[in-house]
Amino acid sequence: MPPKIVSIVEEANTQASYENHPIAQMNDQVVRISVMTEPYHWHHHPNSDETFLSVEGELIIEFEDGTQVLRPGQLITVPKGVRHRTRPGGARSVNLTFEAHDAESVS
């Protein structure tokens, strides 16, 4: 049986204010899709870097010492242990995150 094709458009089709679920796994990594209309809380990942790829809308990533804004097609990696929080730059943001399958999230 051939590998399954994942549709980002279908996976992002939600009315939830925050939706984050895995859409692919490879080796010891997981790819998640995140759809948000409201901020996510401050947290860090002590055992995994986290890479964000903006797909739709602006994704604002706040750090304790500054802010980065991702537009569609832009990517950033947050090193493990760095506290951050995310929020949409407009009404809605859709992004993919790549991290270790066993990544811990600490508030």
Which are the contacts of 34, defined by CB distance < 8 A and separation ≥ 6? 18, 19, 20, 40, 86, 93, 94, 95, 96, 97
Using 50 as the pLDDT threshold, list the residues of the chain that sit under it: none
Which are the contacts of 97, defined by CB distance < 8 A and separation ≥ 6? 20, 31, 32, 34, 50, 51, 52, 53
Give the model's pLDDT for residue 81. Answer: 97
Pairwise CA distance, residues 35 & 4, whole Å: 21
Candidates 3.40.50.720, 1.10.10.10, 3.30.565.10, 2.60.120.10; CATH matching 8-100 = 2.60.120.10
Write the Ramachandran bin of 65: left for phi over 0, alpha for psi from -120 to 50, otherwise beta: alpha
Residue 88 burial (CB < 10 Å; 0-12/13-18/19+)?
buried
Task: Output the pTM of the full model.
Answer: 0.93
Domain coordinates in residue numbering, the chain? 8-100
Give the model's pLDDT for residue 48. Answer: 96
Give the model's pLDDT for residue 80. Answer: 97
